[in-house]
Structure formats: C-alpha cells, structure tokens
Amino acid sequence: MSKPNRPLGTATPAATHQNVALAVARQRLGDAHFQFVLEIIRRGQGEVAAPQVLVIYARLHYLSEIDLQSLRNRVLVYLGQVANTDVTQLPNTFVAIDGDVEWDVTASMVERIRRRLNGRNNYIFREWVELHTGHVYSKLLRIHIDNLLPLHEASQIELKPAETVRLYVREMNLREGMFEPLYHGLLERIYEAVQSEPEVEAEEPASEAAEGESAETSEAAAFARLKEA
C-alpha cells in the first residue's frame, strides 16, 4: 500500500514537534546567557568595560559566532534602554577578538580566566568571575538537560537517546565535549520518568481454600435450583 503524498514543504508531525522543542530550547538558552552576562557586567562596572566582559563570557562558555552576535545585539539594546547610558560610546567592533592568543583552547577554564583578567586591579573581580563561571556552567547544564527531555519525547519514535543528544548538540552549536554529560543527564531523566510510572500489579492466583469455597457455593446453588424445579 503506497503512502499518501505529502505536499512539498510540509513537515512531518515528528519534525514539527522537534522544531518546536528546538526553538524553545534556543529561546531558553538565549535568555539564560543574557541574564548571566548582565550579572558580570553589573559586577564589573567600573573595573572592566562591558565590551570586554562580553568577549570574556563568550570565550569561557564557547559561544558560537551566531550566538555571540545575538547576545551582543541583546546587550546593546539593553544598554541603550538603561537610564543614563550613552550607547554611542560603545565601539562598533567591541566583540572583535583581534588575535587574543591567550585564549588557547587547550588551556583550562581557570587558566583562561586568569590570563584574560590579569593584573592586581582585577584580582577580586577575577576570582568572582571564576566562581561565577562554575555557577553558570552548572545552571546551563541543567537547562540543556531540561531542553533535551521534550526533544526526546518528540523524537523517541525515530531517535534513540544518543541520537537525540547528537541532534541537540548540533542544532545548539555546542562543543562535542558536551555530548557525554548531556547524554548521561538525559538517561537520568528518562530513568526517573520510568521509575515514577505506577506499576501494574499482577492478579494473585486464587488460593486453594478460596477455590474450594467457590466450588461448594456453586454446588449448593445448583442443588437449590433442582429442589425448586
């Protein structure tokens, strides 16, 4: 039996659910990055300029160029709306890296923080950013896993958990190193969901005594009907 023809450009229901789940995930991540980078901007006010803060944040959390551009636009709009903020004072190229060789990808997170925020004047702020980076990483990990569960539910007919995570990592422009913690996190959520489902108790077989009593009752009823007849 041939499958019905689907109009060109029409997505399958599963693909539609996946796209919705991914769109919601992007929105949640964008909002989270925006709030987190504003925390650093406020904390570093008077010590580190907002443009430098954004570069630091993007590098520490491995933002793609697309995500960085989106975040920069949101920050610019926000700063333009804040009272007494002169947005014209912000340089047009404030997210340019310009050969920051100290951002060696082989360096650890702590090394990258310390290299970027060197000097005595930034010592306290540098320590705060180090703590904040760990806080943000943990928060983002939970957000990622929260995003994965509805995506898996939308895709589970077609995708296994590992395939769902690979799809998410690709669509969210995440580094490959995120696959393992996200995969384990998704498995944990699936396990918790399965464990919370009510168990269907099997009916216990009737005991011999109960069966004998039932048989005696049926026999007595049969004799009663014979007498009445």
Are 79 and 50 in contact by the 8 Å Cβ rule? The answer is yes
| Residue 142, pLDDT score | 96
pLDDT digits (tens, 9 = 90+) for 14-70: 788 899 999 999 999 999 999 999 999 988 887 788 888 898 999 999 999 999 999
Tell me whether residue 29 is in a domain. Answer: yes
Tell me whether residue 62 is in a domain. Answer: yes
Report the domain count for the chain.
1
* Parent domain of 161: 13-185
Tell me whether residue 85 is in a domain. Answer: yes
Tell me whether residue 229 is in a domain. Answer: no
Q: pTM of this prediction? A: 0.67
| Residue 17, pLDDT score | 87
Tell me whether residue 119 is in a domain. Answer: yes
Tell me whether residue 211 is in a domain. Answer: no
Tell me whether residue 109 is in a domain. Answer: yes
Tell me whether residue 23 is in a domain. Answer: yes
